[in-house]
Structure 1
Amino acid sequence: MRLFRLCTNSQLYLDRFHDQQPELEGRPYIEQYRKLMKDCYGWADFWTHGFSPLGYEVWEPVGNAVVQQKQWALEHDVEYSEKWLFEISLSQIKDFAPDVLLVNDHHTFGKSFLDRVRESCPSIKLIIGWCGAPYTSLDVFKAYDLTLSNVSSLLDVFHAKGLNSRLFRHGFSATVNDRLATVSDRGPDVSFVGSAISADQYHTSRLELLEHLSHNSALEIWSPNGKVLQGGGIASSIIHGAVFGLDMYRTLAKSFVTLNTHIDISLTYASNMRLFEATGVGACLLTDWTPNLSELFEEDVEVVTFRTAEEAVEKMDYLMAHPSERDSIAEAGQKRTLAEHSFTQRAKEMDELIRNELA
């Protein structure tokens, strides 16, 4: 089975990556690609590793990584225009001739592009789409044979609209720990790493929580949305710039406690990547309580939960005052993630979905 994952990365991340490694420009595509994958941003090449034991061939190029994408086009005599992102991506799909196309950027790759892909690539038997955040139009989901989401409220909408959709959870790749250098120094006491977007359905509740914690705890924040946070009354002294890839995982691993809070569209359903990223690298996770959290982790044994901002402060103080218990929770959380929430496990689940759909 051949699977092609169609994706993009944050442009802020890609710009920083290439600014820090200008020597990559002009190097062979495969060298550039492997270097980017080793930094473990987003899903990186985690599906490649997860599916490998199942006999899949997987390719996960980053569609908007302009330097390496144009290098691939040069090496394969592919001509392109100002619409290079779509033209090169289409050429890569045709060159790879996958059985399955997995799309996890529904904003960039719309229905008209996917219709063209289906017409141009007869090898494709199944198009699977991913949606874990607010969307602007349902049209793109009509181009998928199957839509996966980690957010139950989105699935409710998809089902009501007659779309073939399934619940599918995020996971953690053990390759992160293989690539992450040993963390010797520790600190901060409590971290929050993530976005803070004030738009509807995104992070209104998160911003309110962070504002309260910033005045009542030792919280430090790493986010690309510093101006939004400062506008919400959070002091600039505790706000650091965004961290991505291995730098992000390193920040989580160094923290004595790391905070997780869900996007507004999923406040009643534990679903985000941070649950598994934080526990996967061995951080002690303090996360907002939801009714389904017990399906993923044992409360106060593998993760710690809070229901209010005041309770979050109390739990932070307790964990900092009881290091042995804190470290035991972190160890148990990591063990659970590596055993049950790995990309190896998720690949098995995805393989079952694929085979059922093809049947």
Structure 2
Amino acid sequence: MRLFQNNGLSRGFRAHRRETAYRNFAAGRAQFLDTRFTASHILLPVLTDSPDAFYTNGDDERLQLLWAKENNLRTDDLEQILLAQIEQHRTEVFYNLDPIRYSSKFVAKLPGCVKKSIAWRAAPSGNADLTEYGLVVCNFASILENWRQKGCNVASFFPAHDPVMDSYANGRAEELDVIFIGGYTRHHVKRSQAMRAAASAPGVRARFYLEDSRLTRLANALAPLPVLRSYRHPEDIRLIRADPVYGRDAYAAMAKSRMVFNGAIDMAGEDRGNMRCFETPGCGSVLLTDAGHYPEGFVDGETMLVYSSPEQIPELIGKLMKDEKLATSIAQAGHAMVKERYSKALQWTKFQELI
């Protein structure tokens, strides 16, 4: 199977990597893969450098223009470059993690060598059209149903345990009690309430690595302006805020904390299973997360710890701070579970079954 996997970069990660220099396309791609950003979603043949697998970030202008220059393609149009890469690779299966940028109109332009097109999309995404894809996949049942109602063929598919996490789990050195890694906007009302509750736990050593919205960053810098007040971090969160971390840096941060706090946003309803659910136990920390419908193997009190309301969070944090035996038991069981049930090998087998 000649596999082509395309990805897209988040705004925060793009800013984080802005100064990174690429010597050539191959070196730039290797540098990116080594960061382990979104590694839970990157398929095994890409990570093992299979000759039949091609990977790129189709929205990374610097990387894609290098490929175009090296292959004498005289264009700076990212769509044309991506199509040329697919054609040169003689792709049979196109797996796209950035389908809003490269939607049905793009699929209609794919060369004839492509026999199957699959899109990962874990959000409803308004009026986006993905019906030309042969399959839309993610691990949220309610979101898949939304895409099915829009006329897409859908199937369940999961993130996987990145084997690189094991070295972080084996070299843990707890410096903090609880951390949070993720986005923050004023629209994440439930998450914000839960974060404030976590920050208020007595005696807790906490740090929140936040990818803030543009207006939140502006509000924090210009606090006196009343019009921006609602975008500003609450004082208790601002005191423990740190810059966002990604990939290996996130792995290292999780390996230095007893527990990682997780809070879903509203788009997935009661479904749960964002990347942090897989990364946290993968790095040997306790997943402290909100109640909902979790994938198989995620069991409250055994492989994770669940809160039903913000009021419960300080008590649960205190419990894990005091009971090292309990925290170790949950962390170890969670780590063993994701390694066994959500391995890269099983993810790749499942993908082949979808094909």
**TM-score when scaled to structure 1?**
0.86
Superposed, which structure 2 residues align to 1:252-263 within 5 Å?
252-263=254-265
CA distance in 2, matches of 1:268, 1:242: 26
- Name the counterpart of 1:213: 198
Alpha-carbon distance, 1:61 to partner: 0.6
CA distance in 2, matches of 1:4, 1:197: 34
- Name the counterpart of 2:123: 133
Percentage identity across paired residues of the two chains: 23
Structure 1 counterpart SS, 2:239 = helix
**TM-score when scaled to structure 2?**
0.87
- Name the counterpart of 1:357: none
* Conserved? CA contact 1:3–1:59, under 8 Å: yes
Alpha-carbon distance, 1:232 to partner: 4.9
- Name the counterpart of 2:223: none
* Conserved? CA contact 2:272–2:295, under 8 Å: no
* Conserved? CA contact 1:64–1:85, under 8 Å: yes
- Name the counterpart of 1:35: 31
Structure 2 counterpart SS, 1:171 = coil
- Name the counterpart of 1:148: 137
- Name the counterpart of 2:189: 204
Alpha-carbon distance, 1:142 to partner: 1.1
The total of aligned residue pairs comes to 338
* Conserved? CA contact 2:197–2:314, under 8 Å: no
* Conserved? CA contact 2:40–2:160, under 8 Å: no
Could you say if the C-alpha distance between residues 45 and 289 of structure 1 is closer, same or farther in structure 2, counting changes exceeding 3 Å?
closer
- Name the counterpart of 1:173: 162
* Conserved? CA contact 2:172–2:255, under 8 Å: no
CA distance in 2, matches of 1:103, 1:232: 35
Structure 2 counterpart SS, 1:60 = strand
- Name the counterpart of 2:225: none
Superposed, which structure 2 residues align to 1:1-359 within 5 Å?
1-19=1-19, 21=20, 24-25=21-22, 27-43=23-39, 46-49=42-45, 57-81=52-76, 84-117=77-110, 121-139=111-129, 141-177=130-166, 183=171, 185-199=173-187, 203-216=188-201, 218=204, 219-225=206-212, 227=216, 231-235=232-236, 236-290=238-292, 292-293=293-294, 295-354=296-355
CA distance in 1, matches of 2:26, 2:41: 13
Alpha-carbon distance, 1:273 to partner: 1.0
AA aligned opposite 2:107: L
* Conserved? CA contact 1:276–1:337, under 8 Å: yes
Note the aligned Cα RMSD (angstroms).
2.5
Further displaced range: 142-151 or 329-338: 142-151
CA distance in 2, matches of 1:51, 1:347: 11
Further displaced range: 332-341 or 106-115: 106-115
* Conserved? CA contact 1:106–1:131, under 8 Å: yes
CA distance in 1, matches of 2:283, 2:169: 11
CA distance in 2, matches of 1:123, 1:112: 17
Higher relative helix content: 1
CA distance in 1, matches of 2:44, 2:249: 22
Could you say if the C-alpha distance between residues 340 and 45 of structure 1 is closer, same or farther in structure 2, counting changes exceeding 3 Å?
closer
